[in-house]
Amino acid sequence: MSKGKLEKFSEISAMPHVFQNFNWKLPTLQNYKGEQVAMKGKWRSDFFKNDHPIVIELACGYGEYTMAIAERYPNLNVIGIDVKGNRIWRGAKFVQDKGLKNAAFVRTQIEQLLDCFEAEEVDEIWLTFPDPRKEHRRSRKRLTSARFLDLYRQILKKDGLVHLKTDSTLLYEYSLESLEENDCKIVVHYRDVYAANEKENLAAIDRNFDLATSVKTRYENIHAELGETIKYVRFKL
Number of H helices, E strands in the chain: 8, 10
Model pLDDT, residue 1: 38
- 172-202 residue pLDDT tens: 999 999 999 999 999 999 999 999 999 999 9
Model pLDDT, residue 135: 83
Write out the H or E segment, with its range, that includes residue 155: helix 146-155
Q: Bigger pLDDT: 39 or 5?
A: 39
Rg value, the chain, Cα:
17
- 14-33 residue pLDDT tens: 999 999 998 888 789 999 99
Which phi and psi (to 5°) does residue 79 adopt?
-130, 120
Model pLDDT, residue 227: 83
C-alpha span between 212 and 231 (Å, rounded): 10
* DSSP assigned state of 136: G
Residue 2: which pLDDT band, with cuts at 50, 70 and 90? low
SS3 assignment for 57-88: EECCCCCHHHHHHHHHCCCCEEEEEECCHHHH
Please give the span between the terminal C-alpha atoms of the chain, in angstroms, as a whole number.
Answer: 44
**Residue pair 58/81 in contact by the 8 Å Cβ criterion:** yes
In a 3-state reduction of DSSP, which class is residue 186?
A: strand
* 85-98 helix and 64-72 helix, angle to the nearest 10 degrees: 20
- 70-86 residue pLDDT tens: 999 999 999 999 999 99
- Give the domains, in start order, of the chain with CATH numbers: 5-236 (3.40.50.150)
Share of the chain above pLDDT 70, in %: 99
- 23-59 residue pLDDT tens: 888 789 999 999 999 999 999 999 999 999 999 999 9
The pTM of the full predicted model, rounded to 2 decimals, is 0.95
- 100-128 residue pLDDT tens: 999 999 999 999 999 999 999 999 999 99
Active-site annotation, residues = 131
